[in-house]
Amino acid sequence: MAGHETHYTLPRPEFDKPVKLLIVVAPYYKDIADNLVAGARAEIEAAGGSCEVIEVPGALEVPTAIAIADRSSNFDGYVALGCVIRGETTHYDTVCNDSSRAIQLMGLQGLCIGNGILTVENRKQAEVRADLADQNKGGGAAAAALHLIALTRKWGAQSKGVGFKAPSEAIKLADRDNGPTTA
């Protein structure tokens, strides 16, 4: 069973300046959601960070809430939490695929998001994955967000001059990098 395997876990990142994350949770299965939040909160606090928690109606609303927060606030990263248990209809596939796809697209646009929306076959699988003493997927999602924030801070200020630059911007970059240009 996958729950008994051991997996490598990256060391917790360290930060010179504290991090602030938003945990967005869909508490449809409240007990499972509470465990996911507890795991995420503990991981963020262990890294010296702080967090806020907001609730949304379901997993499909999690990415929308993250997008709103990113436009309107100053979080360094986000933790998406919730649980989708397979039912008798294809609604499960829609919710799993669409919430995951939206989160991935925002990540590719530069947001630091740890995805801890569980997609499981039954309640028992969800309980094991949400349990802090077992798989602790809430903590894992927070750890993922923290690692992405660390990468963003490491590389965020670098400019390699790759890609198209308007002529005036290219001259400014050349002056900065090589000293004044002469004609």
3-class state of residue 182 by DSSP: coil
Sequence-distant (6+) residues with CB within 8 A of 76 are 19, 20, 21, 49, 112, 149, 152
AA letter at 35:
N
Catalytic residue (choose from 4, 7, 91, 147): 91
- Categorise residue 179: left if φ over 0, alpha if ψ from -120 to 50, beta otherwise: left
List C-alpha distances in Å: 14 to 135, 141, 166: 23, 17, 37
Active site annotation includes 91: yes
Q: Which residues are catalytic?
A: 91
